[in-house]
Structure formats: structure tokens, C-alpha cells
Structure 1
Amino acid sequence: MTKQENAAAELKSKVYDKVNSCIQCGYCLPACPTYKSMETESASPRGRINLVKMAAEGKIDITEDLKKPIDLCLGCRACEIACPVNVPYGSILEDAKEMIKKKEDESKKKPYMKDWLMNSFFTNSKMLQVSSNLLYLYQETGLQKISRKTKLPEKILGNIGKMEKTLPTMPSPKYRIKKGQMYKAKNPETKMTVALFLGCINDSLLYKVNYYTLELLRLAGCDVYIPKNQGCCGALHAHQGYMDTAKQLASDNLNAFEEHDVQYIVTNAGGCGAILKEYNHFLKDGTGSNSKSKVDEFTSKIKDISEVLYELDTLKFEKNINKVVTYQPSCHLKNVQKVDAIPEKLIKSISGITYVELPDKDSCCASGGVYNVINYDESMKILSGKFQGVNHIQPDLIVTSNPGCLLQMSHGVNEFSHDKQAKSIHLVELLAEACRIEI
């Protein structure tokens, strides 16, 4: 067999039953953001599924014909909600990306820079922390003001450089949560003991979100344990075809969260929570120390911060927020974790808020992990459409529940909003302000 035939056979062994479950009905088309923006069948879920099937049958080349349509998928998984026969599109997408990555590794186009980012940068907490500290100094020393005034990032990086404006203001590194510690509840009656998943982006770039999450949990009545050896969830890796690395990260996190018995493992990032809930999908063989029961127990404990706070119902909001507020859902929080109305209910429970529903709120903002960096123009096309709804309601605050969404909507304010004073914030930032939790 040739290399292409071997690759096709391997792909077929992984996906053939799954792709054949698609009946090509087209119910997914209106739900797909890239189909709506590109208006071509190869940019739709059923079109991509058919291409994967053809690649598995050896009728088309995996890299030449399949790579581009697959890379242009956001992975929002809205198609799974619309599908009447429950086609596992997310699993098909990951299998296809894994095979495309293998073919790239065999070619002269091996993505060395991308490999370094995925296998050495995002997996190295010390390197991420150093980068975070450098960003803090960049802001504190005034270098950021100079670079923005001279538009240096845009001159060097083009359109991608514009995203420098979305970088959040970094608080002192003293607010970064220390791992390996138990933080006791501030509520006199402890309701439960939970563990907090810090992630890699939130732990380095948005550690104030983690800080607010911790303080809200403590105020709500939780003892909060921070496992020492936790690391990146592996979502970025799985979505880019680096499944071996994703599996290793999953295994490491399973072991890290065994350190202490807790009721829930709390996340504050829709994408992280989604992959954590699906560890049993790509660790399903239960090999090594990761027995099926161990993986299932871990995934059953994953809860978004909004779910835990809503369940406890113990927060006391002490400050009125007299602003017009809307909510942009995280695709992975809604479509994978199935957390839909709860964040909006929490927002509406704060006194003073005028809540206005975002038109077409369930459509993806086109952040997609690193999608908005790799496919900037297509991402901006989708985001500009999203901001037609934002401009219609003119909110003061756009609340999000995922770091990628937060940064993407901030970029949207800079690029497409009629009101440049509007702010994109995480849900826990809003709740913390209402509870008078400050940094």
C-alpha cells in the first residue's frame, strides 16, 4: 500500500461508521457560521463530513483536498444541536485533524513553529508565567502606550497586530492563584468542597478571572482546592490534531485532581470545560492508570462556575450595576456542556441591570481557540455580522463565559462597534463587582 492508501485506511478505521451516520439532510446548514458566511457546501458540516468520507475511501487526498475545508471549521458544534440523528461531528472533526497533522509531519511542510507552541509553550506553566510577567511589565512601564501610539504591532504583524488592543489590563502577579493550596470558605456555613481548574490562558493572561472565580466560590460557601500538578486542558491541541499531546495532558490532569476528594471540579472557560467533560471520549480505552471508572468519575464532576453559583444560590449582591448588559454565549459551554440559560439568569438577578438579549446570540463569535489568528479574515467576516446585533442594542457591557470569546468580543468593539466605550467582560467579573470583590 502507498502512504496515501495507508492514511486513508487509518482514517476509515476511525471515522467510517460515524460519517455514515450522517443522512445529509441539511438541518445543520442554518446553524453553521462558516456555511452562512462562505455560502459553499464544503464549508458546511454535511459537506465536510462527505469530504472526510471520500478521503477515508481514498477518493480525495487528505492534505490537498481535505485540509482547507477542515481548517476553516470553527468547531463550534452548533451542528450537533441541530442534527436530528446525533451525528458526532466533533469526534469526526478531531479524527480528521489528527490525520491531517500526521500527514503534515510526513511532508516537507511540517509546522515547526506550531509544534513548538503546542508541545512546548502551552504545556509549560513556567514559560506561560514568565510571559505573563513580561506582559505585566510591558503595561506597567508604559511600553504598551508607546507601541499603541506608534501602531508598532500592526506595522510588524499586520491585521493580527490589531489584536494587541484586546489584551486585558494585567493586575499585580500577586493575584495569581497559588497551586497546591486549600482556600477556606468565607461563608460561615460551608456548603461544599470543590476543586478549581485554572487552565493555561486564564492562569497566565486572565488570572484576574481565576481570582474572581475563587473569591466568588469562597463567598458562596465553598472550600476551594487548587491541585498543584494541574495543567493545560488540551483543547487547543485536540482541535489542532495534536491528539497524543492532548491525551497526555488529560492523563496528567486526571492524576492531579485525584489529590483531594471534591464534589465538583469547577471551570470558568467554556472551551476548557467542554474538553474536560469529554476526556472519556479520547481516553475511552482505559489504558494504564486511567481506568474507565476513573475517567468517568472525573468527567461527571466538571461544572461551570455559573452552574455552581446558581445551584448554591448564596451570593448576596451588594452593589447595583446600572448598565445595559447583553450576553454572548460560549459555543462550547452551550453546545457541549449544555449550560444555556443559567448565565443569563445570574446576570438578570443583579439589581440595576437592564438586560437586553443579543440578536442571533447563539451564533459563534468566531474566536474558535486560535481560529481568529490562523483565519483572521474569515473570523472578522463572521464577527462583523455578530456586531450588527451588538450595534442594534448598544450595550454598555458584553458578558462572556470563555476567555477566547472575551478577547474576540473586545476586538469586535475596537473594530466594529459604534460605541467604543462598550466593554467585553467575563461573567465572574460582573458578579464580583456586584458582590464588591475588588482587585
Structure 2
Amino acid sequence: MIGMLDEKPPIRIAALADQCVQCGLCLPVCPTYALDRNEAESPRGRIAIAAALARGQASATPALREHMDHCLGCLNCEKVCPANVQYGELLVETRAMLGPSPTRPERELALIRQPARWRRLRRIAGWTGFTRWKPLLQSLLPSNSPMRTALAIWPRQPLPNTQPSPLTNPTAGETIALFPGCIASVEDAEAQQAAITLLRAAGYRVTELPAFCCGAMDLHGGDADRAEQATQQVRATWKKAGADHLVSITPGCIGTLRRALPDVDVIDPVTLLAIRVDRLSFRPLQERIAVHLPCTQSNVARSDASLLKLLQRIPGLDAKTLPRPPHCCGAAGTHMLEFPERAARLRNETLRQAATLAPQRLLSSNIGCRLHLAAGMDDAGRSWPHQHPLVLLARQLET
């Protein structure tokens, strides 16, 4: 594989595509194929498109590249592929070859990338009572407008008022560097603090890195130059950290961080917590919860079993994962902004499956998924509280 990485992009794309044996086992687990029943909207179809583009056998017409842009990057296909096709790598390389979509919502993405700016706007929105007149503003925008979707996922809750962990940071032991990310550093600040609390309780030393975008949105959106800038920032920040592990509470960041730091142990904190679960004790909670497992948690971080192991340590808690299919909620990074109607169809099915569990609470580890699902709950009149699983674990922690 090392030799393949040194090749020019079209050659590398063609080589990656040639690994596919066209068996079709990926089709039943592909969310976009389930939506359209169109071969071009399947992994097998997209591999064929990527190969044709790389070999100059097809032109990147708007209709053709739309099939590539529709891909959610969930990697369910990689998980079931008997030939071990590196579909995620092929998708990233093909999108980089094509470049960003002309319809990419750059204005909205610029806001998400800048956590300080996002935080300021959230505070201003709180002062002005923005959530009261947000529906009116939404109604004035076209149904497929990225701004309308951005308004739909705008949180109803005020900014969390987080407090530093009361636990003393251990003076010895493995050191964990926590990567806050961009929007997650604001909207999931409570979960960041929960991770620190839990990791310290398990005996790890924890430091927190500066908040900035890891580049995942640009990497998967074909903006190779901007993604490379983020990669360099990640590497420079990690070099100063002096830690044993790098963690992110947002599974959507983990794959990109691993790509930037191939020799570093980049991991979901729940995996580290599960290793030392015997050091943690939790108060009982008699509640039924639905656990949404983001695609990146199941297929990239591979931490879903560790999360469920931790939740099972809470006495009385009835934690049930959402039935599959569906295989993706439709958020998929920027997908919900670029293709809101398709994303809403996937979300509706996810929420329908959640409703079969009759939950009192919904948990999801990925901030994009949770905001997307929350917007759907608002539309459907559902009132389930929703939060990051680490927040629930930290609240029930015996100290």
C-alpha cells in the first residue's frame, strides 16, 4: 500500500478501484442505494464511476459527479467487503481529483469551522431570542437551501455552562490529549468536560488541546488544499502535546486525525474508559434510552462495543441501540446542508426506528448527527431529551 500512496492520484484511484470484485455485498448496507435503488448510488457503482473518471473514460459532468457527492462516506461497505476494498480512501481521492462541488455551501461551512465565531453568534442569538423567530426566517427560504437547514439544526438550548472537573489530574500514568474540534468544542463542551472527568477518574492524565477544525469537512468535500492546511495544524499541535494518546469525543473527527497522524494512537475516549471500567462506579438510573451509533463510531472508531459496555455499568439503565437498517441518519458531515431533502428522508427512518424503542432519552456521540436528529424531532413533535453518552456517564459517576 505504501507504494500505491506514492503514485499519482488517477493511477492510485484506478488501483483502488481494481480491488473491487463486483460481488454486490455492499448494496444491502448502502443507505443511498436503499433510497434510490440505482446502481450509480451504490458503492459498486461509484467505484466504477471513479475508475472511469481516473482513466479518462468519462467526463465529470454534473450528473455524474452528483452520484459521488451523494455518498455519505458511512463506510458500511468497507465493513462487509470480502475483498477489503479501501472505499473511504478511494472516495477521498476521487473527490480531491474532482475538487469541491460548485454548489458547496461555503458560507455555512466557514461558520462551522470557526468555533470562536460560532460561540459569539450563539450568545448573540440567546440575547435576541433568536429561536422564537427562527421558524419565520426558515419559512422564507427555499426547502433545499443550506441556510434553511443550518437554521433548522440551530440548537434550542442555550450554550452549556461547563465547570472544570472537580477531580485532581493524576500526577502519573498515561497522558491523554483531548482534541476539541470546531463546532463540537462549543456545542459539546459539556461532553468534553465529561470526558475529562471520566478519564481522570479512570486514572489517566488529561490535557486539552486548542479548538480548531480537523479538516474532515474539507477532506471529504474535495478541498484538498484546505484539508492539508488543517493537517499541518493538527501535526504541529500534537507535536507540542507530549501525550500518549489523542482522543476526540466526536467520532467524525477520528478518521481525519488518524490520517493526519498515522503513527499516533488516535482513539475514542470510551475505548480507554472501557479498558479501565473496573475503576469506575455509577449510580443507578431507572430509564429507557435509545442509543444512536453514528456510522463513524461503528465503522471508523470501532468503539460501539466499548460504549455499550460502559452504559451497561449503570444499574437499572435499559440501553437499546437503534435497529438496523437504517444504516445512517443522513447527517454525514456536510451532507445535510448540501442535500437536505435526501438527508431528511434518512433521518425520518432513523427516528421511526428510535420510536419503536419508546425511549425516554436519545444518546448520540456525534454532534452533527445529534443536531440533525434534534431538528427532525422538532419537525415530528417528539420531545426526547438528547445528549452525548459521556454526559450521562459523567452525571451518574460515583465520586
- TM-score, reference length from structure 1: 0.81
Structure 2 residue ranges without an equivalent (≥5): 1-6
Instruction: Tell me which of 15, 21, 27 is aligned to 1:29.
Output: 27
- 1:58 is displaced (CA, Å) by 2.2
Task: Quote the offset at 1:414 in angstroms.
Answer: 2.2
1:284 maps to none
Note the 1:388-399 alignment, pairs <5 A. Answer: 388-399=352-363
Matches within 5 A, 1:261-340: 261-279=242-260, 295-298=261-264, 301-313=265-277, 314-318=279-283, 320-340=284-304
Answering whether residue 94 of structure 2 is matched by residue 99 of structure 1, we say no
| Equivalent residue, structure 1, for 2:4 | none
Q: Select which of 311, 316, 339 maps to 1:347.
A: 311
Do structure 1's residue 359 and structure 2's residue 323 form an aligned pair?
A: yes
CA distance in 2, matches of 1:341, 1:91: 25
- Among 249, 253, 269, the alignment partner of 2:230 is 249
Alignment partner of 1:257: what SS?
A: helix
CA contact (8 A) 2:281 2:313 kept: no
Mapping of residues 76-87 of structure 1, within 5 Å:
76-87=74-85
CA distance in 2, matches of 1:361, 1:225: 38
- 2:179 paired residue number: 197
Identity %: 25
Q: Does 1:218 align with 2:200?
A: yes
Tell me which amino acid in the other structure corresponds to 1:83.
Answer: C
CA distance in 1, matches of 2:241, 2:166: 14
Q: CA 1:112 to 1:22, structure 2 compared with 1: closer, same or farther past 3 Å?
A: closer
Aligned residue number for residue 350 of structure 2? 386
Q: Say if 1:368 and 1:176 are closer, same or farther in 2 by CA, change over 3 A.
A: farther
Farther off after superposition, 41-50 or 260-269? 260-269
Partner of 2:190: 208
Residue 431 of structure 1 corresponds to which residue in structure 2?
A: 393
1:188-232 deviations in Å (ceiling 9; x for gaps): 68543211100011113332222222232233333211234x631
> Contact 2:249–2:268 at 8 Å: present in 1 too?
yes
User: Of residues 340, 356, 375 in structure 2, which corresponds to 1:376?
Assistant: 340
Residue range with higher mean Cα deviation, 185-194 or 12-21:
185-194
The aligned counterpart of 1:143 is: 129
Q: Structure 1 CA distance, aligned partners of 2:245 and 2:195?
A: 14
Helix, strand or coil: the match of 1:393?
coil
Q: Displacement of 1:117 after TM fit?
A: 5.6
Quote how far apart the aligned CAs of 1:376 are: 0.8
Which stretch shows the higher mean deviation, 41-50 or 349-358?
A: 349-358
Give the distance between the partners of 2:116 and 2:359, measured in 1 at CA: 34
> Match of 1:253, as an amino acid?
V
Structure 1 CA distance for aligned equivalents of residues 309 and 50 of structure 2:
40
Higher relative contact order (CA 8 A, sep 6+): 2
d(CA) in 2 for partners of 1:344, 1:324: 14
| 1:202/1:176 CA distance change after superposition, 3 Å | farther
Deviation per CA, 1:162-183: give whole Å up to 9, x if none. Answer: 66454332336x6498xxxxx8
- Deviation digits for residues 283-308 of structure 1 (CA, Å, limit 9, x no counterpart): xxxxxxxxxxxx4332xx21101112
* CA distance 1:187–1:220, shift in 2 (3 Å): farther
Q: Structure 1 residues 412 and 122 mapped into 2: Cα distance closer, same or farther (>3 Å)?
A: closer
Change (3 A) 1:388 1:296: closer
Distance 2:118 2:369 in 1: 21
1:101 and 1:379 map into 2 onto residues whose CA distance is: 22
- What is residue 241 of structure 2 aligned with on the other side? 260
CA drift of 1:91 comes to 1.0
Equivalent-residue separation in structure 1 for 2:121 and 2:86 (angstroms): 41
The CA distance in 2 between the partners of 1:14 and 1:340, in whole Å, is 32
Amino acid at match of 1:134: L
Partner amino acid for 1:348? Q
Q: Which of 130, 140, 144 is residue 155 of structure 1 equivalent to? A: 140
Q: CA RMSD in A?
A: 2.7
Q: What is the CA–CA distance in structure 1 between the aligned matches of 2:91 and 2:31, rounded to whole Å?
A: 16
* 3-state SS of paired residue (2:391): helix
Partners of 1:236 and 1:312 in 2: CA distance: 33
1:231 aligns with 2:212: yes
Question: 2:326·2:350 contact (CA, 8 Å) conserved in 1?
Answer: no
Is this contact kept in 1: 2:171–2:205, CA < 8 A?
Answer: no
8 A contact 1:194–1:225 mirrored in 2: yes
> Is 1:401–2:365 an aligned residue pair?
yes
Report how many residues are paired: 389
* Contact 1:54 1:60 survives alignment (8 Å): yes
C-alpha distance in structure 2 between counterparts of 1:215 and 1:145, whole Å? 31
Q: CA deviation at 1:143?
A: 1.3
Matched-pair contact (CA < 8 Å) for 2:95–2:220:
yes
Partner SS, residue 316 of structure 2: coil
Q: Is the 8 A contact 1:22 1:87 kept in 2?
A: yes
**Contact 2:374/2:386 (<8 A) preserved:** yes
Write out per-residue CA displacement over residues 376-421 of structure 1, whole angstroms, 9 at most, x where no aligned residue.
111111122222211211111121111111112212322346xx22
Taking structure 1 as reference, are residues 347 and 391 closer, same or farther at Cα in structure 2, changes over 3 Å only? same
Q: Does 1:421 align with 2:383?
A: yes
Corresponding position of 1:286: none
Measure how far apart 1:233 and its partner are. 1.0
1:131 to 83, 93, 118: 118
Unaligned ranges ≥5, structure 1? 1-8, 105-109, 178-182, 280-294
Please report how far the alpha carbon of residue 312 of structure 1 lies from its aligned counterpart in structure 2 after TM superposition: 2.2
